[in-house]
Amino acid sequence: MDPGWSSYPEQPPRLQYDPCFQANATTIQLTSICFIQRTIMTNKKTYKPCDLVIYGALGDLSTRKLMISLYRLENAGLIESASRIIGVDRFDKSKDEFIAIARESLEMFLKDDIDPEVWDRFSGRLSYLAIDLTQPDQYQRLHAVLDTAERVTINYFAIPPFLFQGTCQGLAASGVLTKESRLVMEKPIGHDLQSSKQINDAVAAVFSEEQVFRIDHYLGKETVLNLLALRFANSIFTTNWDHNTIDHIQITVAEEVGIEGRWDYFDKTGQLRDMLQNHLLQILTFVAMEPPVNIKAQSIRNEKIKVLEALRPITSSNVEEKTVRGQYTKGFCKAKEVPGYLEEEGANTESTTETFVALRVDIDNWRWASVPFYLRTGKRMNYKRTEIVVYFKQLPHNIFKDSYRELPPNKLIIHLQPNEGVEIEILNKIPGIDGGIRLQKTKLDLSYSEAFKKTRMFGGYEKMILEALRGNPTLFLSREEIEQAWTWIDSIQDAWSHISDPPHPYPAGTWGPIASDSLLARDGRAWEA
């Protein structure tokens, strides 16, 4: 999630309710392939307390995500007792006013009741400091609240990227940084390779690479982490995870929401940069990477970078064959009429910015030779859905033609949201004694909410914040990863700039333009329904 600002706001954004889904129950538990981060509940290791300084503490990201995640960590007893949370923003607020804003955030966005005892502990950690990040002399105010001798300072940038350089310089000049200090950076880290390098260069002038924690909250989701266990702890998948057995793989990140008041920001970004450059490519690297030497940060990053380096370029010569752009028009979502992209508040009716992207991605290495990856992501789609579908190859000979003229392929379906879990679609015999063997598709289901009713489930932000507090860089992105991803994305963006045709229209509440179906139909395939 990006901070969602096109400029430094004059007033704190108002809080808005954001509905979410609840997980459904399932029946058959595949506990042998499950990977739950139980260590975060049982690990008794102590960590040095922190001063978590949130820059942009009154903004959308902080109030909608960070405060909720920090409260849940507090509720789980995962924050060191002496750690503190310091909100920094340009607005003149008292400590009590900041605590009241945090309380309002919890009441609006937390799906559970607020525990009075937990709130007392949590609110006791909170303090506030008014600093205009564009005024270098004001950073000296941090000396009054930071205790660098007793606590590690975690600088969390929940601010627009154009403030990153000045904020780093202000922190360095103020003398509050130590070798233990850390920086947590939210996306977007640039809008292309050149701007990404400029931001990273500015950060590198103050912080070493080991001190920088670049967040993609998708990497904190249990089902994304479970890919490591699924692939590398189960021989049934480890030995069948390549071009010999897999036909193709689909990755879908569908958003039900539209622009939600972010039109100016989004129109300068588009779905390719906003979602595909980070979330979908990160999921792709976990699916496609080679087995790492171990589960340490550098080993995993090395293998992910190899995947990004092996992506076949999409250029002007093949962009129309490999990509589809779309832009939503008015339609219906949950039986409610919603406006089209060009009808949203503040819209430029001449905009050709894409709200939907579908790609065929090829990875030029031995493991994935001739196995296409189909990626799609869009706004105002039928419903919220993030999933990976692995299609295995069809059997070459069919002895069950009474049931199926052609045997359908087995599928592994990994649901990332809203209902986290794993399904395997197989063929089973229909029970009965009055005939031959008749087959039917059935699913082996693992629902996280059902299989782990007694295990506390955490979201991506909780996991990422916890790892930043503990100084574990494993799930965070390296500079090389981000710049390699931008190199590939920039080629697509450049190719699109030479196409005169506008994005394909699609009604809100659907699965995107018809052209995205044609992208797979040309290869004799179809999107997962």
Q: Which domains does the chain have, with CATH numbers?
A: 219-521 (3.30.360.10)
Of the ranges 105-114, 258-267, 278-287, which one carries the lowest mean pLDDT score? 258-267
Q: Is the dihedral of CA 25, 26, 27, 32 positive or negative?
A: negative
pLDDT of res. 20: 37
Confidence of residue 23 (pLDDT cuts 50, 70, 90): very low
The pLDDT confidence band at residue 58, using thresholds 50, 70 and 90, is very high
pLDDT band, residue 451 (cuts 50/70/90)? low
Instruction: Check residue 449 and give its pLDDT.
Output: 63
Average of per-residue pLDDT across 211-216 = 93
- Asked if residue 456 has pLDDT above 70, the reply is no
- Pick the more confident residue, 37 or 446: 446
Question: Does residue 248 have an active-site annotation?
Answer: no
CA distances from 106 to 122, 205, 307, 338 (A): 11, 37, 40, 28
Residue 399: band (very low, low, confident or very high) from pLDDT cuts 50, 70, 90: confident
Which residues pair with residue 389 across a beta bridge? 250, 413
Between residues 30 and 52, the one the model is more confident about: 52
* Angle formed at CA 415 by CA 219 and CA 427, multiple of 5 degrees: 140
- Chain centroid, CA 67 distance in Å: 18
> Helices (DSSP H) in 324-428: which residue ranges?
none
What is residue 432's predicted lDDT score, i.e. its pLDDT?
Answer: 75
Of the candidates 242, 489, 492, 238, the residue with the CA atom closest to the CA atom of residue 363: 242
- The larger pLDDT score, comparing residue 286 to residue 401, is at 286
Top-confidence residue, 404 or 465: 465
Provide the pLDDT for residue 433. Answer: 72
In this prediction, residue 5 carries a pLDDT of: 40
85 Ramachandran zone, left/alpha/beta (phi>0; psi -120 to 50): beta
User: What distance, in Å, lies between the first and last C-alpha atoms of the chain?
Assistant: 26
Of 172, 139, 156, nearest in space to 83 by CA = 156
The rounded percent of the chain whose pLDDT value lies above 90 is 67
Q: Which residue has the higher pLDDT, 165 or 429?
A: 165
Residue 92's pLDDT band (boundaries 50, 70, 90)?
very high
Q: What is the mean pLDDT of the chain?
A: 87
**pLDDT score, position 6:** 35
Average pLDDT over residues 355-374: 97
Q: What's the mean pLDDT in 148-171?
A: 94
Residue 151 near residue 83 (C-beta atoms within 8 A): yes
Q: How many CA atoms lie within 13 A of 252 on its CB side?
A: 26
Hey, what amino acid is at 217?
A: H
Q: What does the pLDDT average to over 443-454?
A: 69
Higher pLDDT, 290 or 45: 290
pLDDT tens for each residue of 289-319: 999 999 888 999 999 999 999 999 999 999 9
Catalytic residue among 248, 279, 415, 504: 279
Residue 24 has pLDDT above 70, yes or no: no
Please give, one letter per residue, the 3-state secondary structure of 278-337.
HHHHHHHHHHHCCCCCCCCHHHHHHHHHHHHHHECCCCCCCHHHHEEEEEEECEEECCEE
Separation CA 225–CA 507 (nearest Å): 34
User: What type of residue is 3?
Assistant: P
Q: Is the pLDDT confidence value at 37 over 80?
A: no
User: Treating both helix axes as pointing N-terminal to C-terminal, what angle do 193-204 and 164-174 enclose, rounded to 10 degrees?
Assistant: 10
The answer to which of 133-142, 357-366, 422-431, 504-513 has the lowest mean pLDDT is 422-431
On the 0-12 / 13-18 / 19+ scale of CB atoms within 10 A, 14 is exposed
Query: Cβ of 498: how many Cβ atoms within 10 Å?
Result: 9
Q: Is 418 helix (H, G, I), strand (E, B) or coil?
A: coil
Cis upstream peptide for 9 (omega within 30°): no
Residue 76: pLDDT above 70? Answer: yes
For residue 218, what pLDDT is reported? 79
Of 250, 187, 523, 504, which is closest to residue 376 (Cα–Cα)?
250
Q: In angstroms, rounded to a whole number, what is the distance separating the alpha carbons of residues 171 and 133?
A: 10
% of the chain exceeding 70 in pLDDT: 89
Residue 7 has pLDDT above 70, yes or no: no
Average pLDDT over residues 126-140: 96
Q: Output the pLDDT for position 28.
A: 36
Residue 220 has pLDDT above 90, yes or no: no
